[in-house]
Amino acid sequence: MALEEYEEDYAEIPTSEEDSDEDTRPIQRISQQQEIILPEDSFWSWNLPGRFSRWYQPILFLTFPCLVGNPCSKVRRKDYCRLLVSFLFWIQFVNIAYFIIELALGVKKFNWRDLFFHGVRPSNSSLIKLGAKYAYAIKHHYQIWRLFVPIIMHGGIFHLVVNMLVVIIDCLGYEKIWGFIRIILIYVVSGVAGNLLSCIVFPNNLSVGASSAIMGLYGARLSHLVCRWPKLKPNERTHNIVSAIIYTCIMMVFVFETYTIDYASHIGGCFVGIFMGFILFANYHPKKLTAILVALFSAFVILAYFVLCTVVFIVWIKPVKIE
């Protein structure tokens, strides 16, 4: 089948009011006998005239799906247009620009081992000037903005690249099905929550990075799955739970096996992301009373988290000044 023939066949699965929550996944009709149904959280559309024909295509689809097939096809152009209105896409340019400013203000001295594992890194003075999580300044100088700004900061070129790849490969699909308003709320609140917990666990360390916000998106994915569980088909349940567990385990293993990672911010971001998800996705649950109770309980948990962490930080934590 020619490429031009299958490009015109891209369509959305027709939905009714009863099953609109469970059958909104994109479908590519390859022929009358064969069709490719993509996972619901897949941002990149199927861009081949048939199934995989080369050994490397499945690997490429799992790692860099945007590179599979003709990059200028009609299907791919639709993906590019959708990308241009994505919050997670544009926030990456903010991250890049801010990282360039970090390096312009000062580069950390390095040896070849540091260069191999971390790449070029900004100096501590540069990070402090530009808004890194600095518990001493937050407590004694009331610089609350330091809980927000680290979400767009990174401690090294590899740190920046890894976070960008995670967002582009995996998290863009979440914005596609959740909408940019929910994504912004989860991203920002989870990022701040992670930085606040980091002030308690690592009060004498500088901390930067969007990882806490990204972990919040993974946490929200779990709650999104739980809220929609009664409406999912058995095969959809299996796919979603397996993929969610795999991604969460990979992130957690990476966190605890790398000594330079601020695991407190990751855990705090993921925890709050789960309950943010229960607030934002509770309406998916078929029982309205249950949905309301879950949303109210989740709001209480998030409020209690911020109040408790703030009290502990103000009363018990005594951060030192970093020279």
User: Tokens for 64?
Assistant: 């860099």
Separation of alpha carbons 27 and 42, rounded Å:
11
CA torsion angle 278 282 284 286 (round to 10):
130
Selecting among 86, 211, 212, 265, the annotated active-site residue is 211
Q: How many CB atoms lie within 10 A of CB 171?
A: 22
CA 106 from chain centre, in angstroms, equals: 29
3-state SS string over 235-258?
A: HHHHHHHHHHHHHHHHHHHHHHHC
Beta-carbon contacts of residue 206 (< 8 Å; ≥ 6 apart)? 124, 127, 128, 132, 133, 134, 322
Q: How many CB atoms lie within 10 A of CB 66?
A: 19
Instruction: Tell me how far CA of residue 177 lies from CA of 26, 93, 174, 273, in angstroms.
Output: 11, 22, 5, 16
Quick check: 301 and 210 in contact, CB under 8 A?
no
Does the active-site annotation cover 239?
A: no
Does the active-site annotation cover 266?
A: yes
Length of the chain: 323
Selecting among 154, 159, 224, 266, the annotated active-site residue is 266
Quick check: 227 and 282 in contact, CB under 8 A?
yes
- In this structure, what DSSP letter does residue 305 have? H
Residues annotated catalytic, as ranges: 211, 266
